[in-house]
Amino acid sequence: MGTSDAARQTRPSPKLVLEQVSKWFKTSSLHVQALDNVTLHIAEGEFVCLVGPSGCGKSTLLNIIAGLDRPNQGLVQADGQTITGPGPHRLVMFQEAALFPWLTVLGNVLFGLQLRSGLTTAEYYLELVGLKRFMHANVHELSGGMKQRVALARALAPNPSMLLMDEPFGALDALTREQLYGDIQRIWSQHRKTIVFVTHNVREAVCLGDRVILFSPNPGRIREEFAIPLPRPRDINSVDLARYATEITRVLKGYVQTEVAG
């Protein structure tokens, strides 16, 4: 199930290029390498999931792609331009919805649209995530899943070309997560945004991604990648999906055990 050289060669020109990216964090007492020589190309409209245990550098890499952090060495480019800071074409969705509690649902989505078409755009994306009838509700009146839908609408409304998602469903219950898996697959199929999705949940990655990129820790390295050719929409409980998830989990455990033993 690993990706062959021939498959790599048939991909379109990359939307995102990471070449030999390394990152260190230094304090007065510690010198920790978070990422080591990470090379990854992601095509326009591709949905790529980064998977690995806690501490393997997945979120650090996402922050570098977002322009919220800088690598110590290596090349990071989007659309052929070096990423030197945050930009409107690369928006991030975090595990916590981080909504403004003093604004309504509509106000939160409108926040990033003050210089754009505004109301029509906000209403469209709230309709897309199934929340248009709640657009005048206050944030505290929403469930966790509804808050994440608002956060998704807010991220999509400025029409970024790349959406960066850092374990956005990790704090939700299983049923709500399954509903959101369906939502994000439907929205991705309609709009074909380039998505980089960080998770430690292998089944989630197989359910959503065109490719699953496997990281191991100490420091974070790409160990293997898996193409997921299953048709969409995918059911996270399907037998075919479980086969991919089982194989990827087996490989991941092998790398983690090797790192621990070393």
Three-class secondary structure assignment of 26-93? ECCCCEEEEEEEEEEEEECCCEEEEECCCCCCHHHHHHHHHCCCCCCEEEEEECCEECCCCECCEEEE
pLDDT band at 12 (very low <50, low <70, confident <90, very high): low
User: Is pLDDT of 251 > 80?
Assistant: yes
Question: What pTM did the predictor assign?
Answer: 0.89
The pLDDT tens digits of the residues spanning 72-117 come to 999 999 999 999 999 889 999 988 888 999 999 999 999 877 645 6
Average pLDDT, integer, range 130-153: 91
pLDDT digit string, tens, across residues 196-228: 999 999 999 999 999 999 998 888 999 999 999
Average pLDDT of the residues of the chain: 88
* CATH 3.40.50.300 segments of the chain: 5-89+162-261
Domain 5-89+162-261, what fold?
A: Rossmann fold (3.40.50)
